[in-house]
Amino acid sequence: MGREVGRRWLVRGALGAGAAAAVALPARRWLIPEAVAEPIAVGGLAVTCNLTLPVACAANQAANPFGTQDAAQLAFKFAKFGGWPELKESLMSGDVEAAYMLAPLVMDLADKKVPVKIVSIGHRSGAVIMVRTDSSYRSFRSLAGKRIAIPSRFAVDFLFLRKMLANEGMTPADVEIVEMAPADMPAALYVKGVDAYCTGEPFGAAAQRAGYARPLRMTRDEWPRYMCCVLTVREELIASNRPLVQNMVNYVLAAGAWLDGQRKNRETAVQLAAKTEYFNQDPNILRFVMDNPEDRVTYGDLRMVPGEFDDLMHQAVDAGTLKQAVPYASYVDESFARAARPASIAL
């Protein structure tokens, strides 16, 4: 595996004429020009809040084809996960060294001394609260006592729901909140297993496009600078291969600007993400997210603003998601974003 190459102490050579022994010397992956490393796996979910990741992976592969010497230090690939719990466990264990994660979850991991750092934001906006088309629900007051699904208490979707309830003088105690995998939410709404759900796309768009659901609220209207998914790396990877982490950040930021740059780029991204090796989803649903409206999810402004993270952190503390305030510097490494250089998105 590529990660194993970066961890091992490896130099092959003979000691003197005819010697068969090999000497182990400390070597990081990018210091071994003859090594052709397997790409680092970057974990992510099949959600449009993660769309910059497959774009970045594909563009980097186009510029540094796997199997070349350049790719030995710069290669990264998309690794699809089915849910946040399994991705969290993989990042904690080191099975994956980088992933798109829920921002409050990273704060919690850092507070628990798990060696992880956020190095980039992945998107802006992109969450919706959906209700059935045939329902009478127009305000949150009408949802009192109703069942609402969220992906996780660590998801910023939960904080979005709390904001909308607070706007009408309500609290989460006024509704029944259940945690559910986002992919299961449209079907649960269809069979009336829940009365509403709050999640990232494309799971709102899937039900809306099918005709049985409509948005009650969207972050594009209520919280435009909403952020949820962030590129997170283990500190061991930062220590062992800064060029790779920098390359990932360069491509993620470039992917964001590219996605918001021209409409044709979004169509290219839809076709890419629909592939089996990425989201493996219906391109028509992904396209619906990109078009209805065009700023349903945005990617162009991925600046890391400390005040925004602090606000998010304090909301998570108020919600009981975090047990205590977590200092910004303990879970964010801004150095890669500050040093970022434009990467070419040649797709």
Q: What does the pLDDT look like over 63-99, one tens digit per residue?
A: 988 777 667 688 999 999 988 999 999 999 999 999 9
Alpha carbon 14 to its chain centroid, in Å, reads: 46
- Over residues 196-240, the pLDDT tens digits come to 999 999 999 999 999 999 999 999 999 989 999 999 999 999 999
Its pTM stands at 0.87
Q: Which two tokens mark 329? A: 């510097």
**Paired strand residues for 198:** 129
Q: Which of these, 5, 312, 324, 32, lies nearest to 163 by C-alpha position?
A: 312
Q: Which of these, 125, 141, 127, 147, lies nearest to 198 by C-alpha position?
A: 127
Q: 6-20, 126-140, 261-275: which range is least confident on average?
A: 6-20
CA distance readout (Å), 65 to 134, 240, 294: 50, 22, 32
- Over residues 166-201, the pLDDT tens digits come to 999 999 999 999 999 999 999 999 999 999 999 999
CB 251 within 8 A of CB 39: no
Distance CA 256, CA 58 (A): 14
Query: H/E element holding 128?
Result: strand 127-132
pLDDT (0 to 100) of residue 27: 38
pLDDT (0 to 100) of residue 37: 66
Q: Which two tokens mark 328? A: 């910004």
Query: H/E element holding 240?
Result: helix 235-240
CB 295 within 8 A of CB 222: no
Look at the block and give the residue holding tokens 């997210």.
Answer: 289
**57 burial level (CB within 10 Å; 0-12, 13-18, 19+):** buried
